[in-house]
Amino acid sequence: MSDFHFLRPWFLLAFVMLAVMVWMLLQEKKTKGVWAKICDPILLPYILIQGKSASRNLALNLFAITISLIILASAGPAWKKLPQALYLKKSPLVIVLDMSRSMLATDIGPNRLARAKLKIKDILDTRKDGQTSLLVYTAQPFVVTPLTLDSKNIKLYINQLKPMIMPVQGSRPDLALAKAAELFKNAGLKKGHILIVTDNLEGNKVLFQAKSLASQGYISSVLIVGTKDGGPIPLRYGGFAKQNGKIVISRAEEDEIKQFTSYSGGRYHSISADDSDIKYLLGKEYAETSYQKIESLKLESTRWIEQGPWLLVIILPFAALAFRRGWLAVFVLLIIPLPEAAYASDKASVKTSSNENAWDKLWLNKDQRGLKAFNQGVHDKAIKEFKSEQWKATSFFRSGDFKKALELYQKDSSANGLYNQGNALIKLGKLKDAIAAYAKAFKINPKHKDAVENHRLASEYLKKLKEKMKNQAAKQGQPGQQSQTGQPSQKSQTGQPGQQSQTGQPSQKSQTGQP
């Protein structure tokens, strides 16, 4: 019994609740003592209606014992171990991904690294139950995830892998192979498969390392990501890598990789659009002939034998006694809900609102509180909260104060800022100024479709408006015609190019970023 312990010891805290319940029941029994102080002892039996004291004591004791046994059973008492054999459904695999800058070459679209990451995801989907690890390397190897059965966990990191996040540059696949073997050994695995995803393997060091690992039971295969024709290596800030004034062309040298696999005992295959590469490199037939079968991955483990269910057998007689007449009343306290506090509706709403405001001030900055009010349509509050002038301008716009919105929009000379100025000018009836603002916006950003469309609609509307005023001027003084002032209707004075233009409401995207 030296190994006795509880698998779920936090369940023992329930004894505190049990003690409170028993104390409450005992207090209820003591009420007789209060009446005894104020009543004559001779009259007391006729005043109090009492059950049999022995029966009540027995019910209380059984209640305490039953709940105690339930708590102990739930805590999971254990003191024996049971040996357990574990089998892995597939052989372990360490995926080694090359993160050197040559992997950014675009001879395979969109680039080598992007295609490699997609292929790794396909491999993980194929090996749903296998032990897999992901390792990346440049001049040094870095472990992304150790050997794990959770392939979903590995997928979380793949999209974030980029050469610019690597602390050093270069290419040392020999060090990556050594790190992969270390992962196998740390997991207690004497054999395993290493899959290198790269565009090339150069140098004698990686050949000698592969041969050494193959002799220890760790074979290495290669997934080639690249073409014989190759492609230039793009630089981070534009242009391509050069050597002696000439652009460097990175090519996949199949002969060198073929020589590598002759040392490593593995296979090689160029990346393909289908799963033929995966089937060839990781196929069942090759797995069974090249490295250990499933049975050789037998691992020894132990688990504790939980003894709690035996306590439930002891509880059954006590539970049967609970159905005796009157004894179920002891358990009423367990199911009576506590009353909730009641509030008047108006006070409750005020309290909720103040709590909400306090909570927002605690966790949100001013721009975030302003955005929350903006999304709720409370633009007056949003104006007060926003520190960002462009968001504040949009709030003025939505609230109908186009003049103040324009004043703030004019502080932004970007394409979006000019586009928003055009929207505000349309609302203020300054059609020509709005057209000029739209023109400046798409001149800065020719891809600003909203500015281009609003400029077209506003220009067409202005042209029609001029023609209409010209026709009205020509008709003045003719018989049967009412006197025309030459003034456009109220609708035309506002400069609205019509409902289709949607110039009155600047889109959320065209305003500012999220605060």
At 284 the pLDDT is 59
The answer to whether residue 421 scores a pLDDT higher than 60 is yes
Q: pLDDT exceeding 90 applies to what percent of the chain?
A: 20
The answer to whether residue 422 scores a pLDDT higher than 80 is yes
More reliable by pLDDT, 76 or 304:
76
Task: Average the pLDDT over each of 100-104, 200-204, 309-313, 353-357 and give the range with the smallest value.
Answer: 353-357
Q: Which two tokens stand for residue 394?
A: 């949009």
The answer to whether residue 129 scores a pLDDT higher than 90 is no
The answer to whether residue 225 scores a pLDDT higher than 80 is yes
At 514 the pLDDT is 37
Tens of pLDDT, residues 264-322:
999 999 999 888 898 888 875 444 434 444 444 444 455 677 877 777 777 777 666 65
| Mean pLDDT calculated for residue range 224-244 | 85
At 319 the pLDDT is 64
| Mean pLDDT calculated for residue range 40-67 | 65
The answer to whether residue 425 scores a pLDDT higher than 60 is yes
More reliable by pLDDT, 389 or 293:
389
Task: Average the pLDDT over each of 285-299, 384-398, 406-420, 458-472 and give the range with the smallest value.
Answer: 285-299
Q: Which of 129, 148, 194, 137 is nearest to 170 (CA)?
A: 137
Tens of pLDDT, residues 169-209:
889 999 999 999 999 999 888 888 999 999 999 888 999 99
Alpha-helix residue ranges (DSSP H) falling in 302-427: 308-321, 345-363, 366-375, 379-385, 389-399, 402-409, 415-427
DSSP per-residue codes, 74-132: HH-EEEEEEEEEE--SS--EEEEEE-SGGGG--SSSS-HHHHHHHHHHHHHHHTTTS-E
At 370 the pLDDT is 78
More reliable by pLDDT, 384 or 284:
384
Determine if residue 384 is left, alpha or beta; phi over 0 gives left, psi from -120 to 50 gives alpha, anything else beta.
alpha
Find out whether 451 and 478 touch, Cβ atoms under 8 Å: no
At 83 the pLDDT is 60
**pTM of the full structure:** 0.43
- Cα 275 to its chain centre, rounded Å, is 29
The answer to whether residue 162 scores a pLDDT higher than 70 is yes
Q: 3-state class of 268 per DSSP?
A: strand
Task: Average the pLDDT over each of 38-42, 49-53, 100-104, 367-371 and give the range with the smallest value.
Answer: 49-53
At 491 the pLDDT is 36
| Mean pLDDT calculated for residue range 332-336 | 42
| Mean pLDDT calculated for residue range 111-131 | 87
The rounded mean pLDDT for the chain is 76
- Cα 466 to its chain centre, rounded Å, is 56
Q: Which two tokens stand for residue 316?
A: 């059954």
| Mean pLDDT calculated for residue range 87-111 | 84
| Mean pLDDT calculated for residue range 107-124 | 91
At 167 the pLDDT is 87
Task: Average the pLDDT over each of 138-147, 232-241, 470-479 and give the range with the smallest value.
Answer: 470-479
